[in-house]
Amino acid sequence: MPTLFSKIIAREIPADIVYEDEMCLAFRDINPQAPVHVLLIPKQEIPKLADAAAPDQALLGHMMLAAGKVARQLGVGDAFRLVINNGAEAGQTVFHLHLHILAGRPLHWPPG
């Protein structure tokens, strides 16, 4: 069954897309937790990070580099946080791997 994010990739559901390349897509979160809150998703469906396998290594590395590009594009440069929730108990609600790019306010440690 297609996920919400698969439908965004297919353009079946609208999203405020801020970045796209051949492997991933980034769009603004509809429930932002910071002034800048963007979700970066792979176009290949991987339900959660723990489901990734050795063949996904290049895609995962690409996403980390893309996160930096998105941050620079949005003007937050080197002051951002990446979050990956893995599984329902960790707060994952859409089971299509995604990185949260958060910025634009002080991000304290430990996260809440």
Q: Is 100 a catalytic residue?
A: no
Residues in CB range of 14: below 8 A, 6 or more apart: 8
Euclidean distance between CA atoms 63 and 59, whole angstroms:
6
Q: How far is CA 25 from CA 49, 62, 95, in A?
A: 17, 12, 16
Residue 110, preceding peptide bond in cis (omega within 30° of 0): yes
The one-letter code for the residue type at 102 is L
DSSP summary character for residue 50: G
Which among 96, 98, 100, 108 is annotated as catalytic?
Answer: 98
Enzyme catalytic residues:
98
